[in-house]
Amino acid sequence: MTKTSLLDSEHTWYLMTAMEKALYGATLALHAADADGGLAVADAAIAKLRAIAGERSRLPEPEYEAARSGLSIEYAEFAVWYPIQYRIRHGFDRDYQHPTLEQIQEAYKRFGLSRCDFY
């Protein structure tokens, strides 16, 4: 966030998870005496946290979140909803790929199988 506009910084802050915000704020406070006020160190800390996000996911995948809701969702509805929710969840990943039809069908199968886990 050190080389971005104020608007981009605010947008980035808004998109941070609670854990990222806590880490960013704590890192800024610890490095407030640095020449840049700790911004570079805080940015690096967030980058490191996001790099390990695949190993420590902050949220369940969309199909599992839908299963937990207890709603009965037909495939036609799911096929429209899932790519949008998937993009919201993973759109900022460097290697983001829009889910294919086969991936949506597999996600719907996982959704159906997981619904019984939350009764």
What is the per-residue pLDDT across 68-110, written as a single tens digit (0 to 9) for each? 888 999 999 999 999 999 998 888 877 889 999 999 999 999 9
Same domain, 79 and 99: yes
Residue 73 lies in a domain: yes
Q: Which domain holds residue 108?
A: 62-118
User: Would 56 be classed as within a structural domain?
Assistant: no
Q: Are residues 45 and 67 in the same domain?
A: no
For Cα atoms 57, 78, 98, give the angle at the middle one, nearest 5 degrees.
55
In a domain, 1, yes or no: no
- Interval 13-60: pLDDT, tens: 777 888 888 988 899 899 989 888 888 888 888 888 877 766 555 678
Which pLDDT score is estimated for 8? 58
Does 75 map to a domain? yes
Same domain, 114 and 71: yes
Q: What is the pLDDT of residue 3?
A: 60
The token pair at 69 is: 């809701």
Q: Are residues 37 and 76 in the same domain?
A: no
pTM of the model: 0.53
Are both 110 and 90 inside the same structural domain?
A: yes
Residue 57 lies in a domain: no
**Counted domains in the chain:** 2
DSSP string, 30-90: HTTTSTTTTHHHHHHHHHHHHHTTTTS-SS--HHHHHHHHT----HHHHHHHHHHHHHHHH
Does one domain contain both 79 and 36?
no
Do 76 and 40 have their domain in common? no
pLDDT at res. 15: 78
Is the four-CA dihedral 44, 15, 75, 67 of positive or negative sign? positive
Q: Residue 1: its pLDDT value, please? A: 46
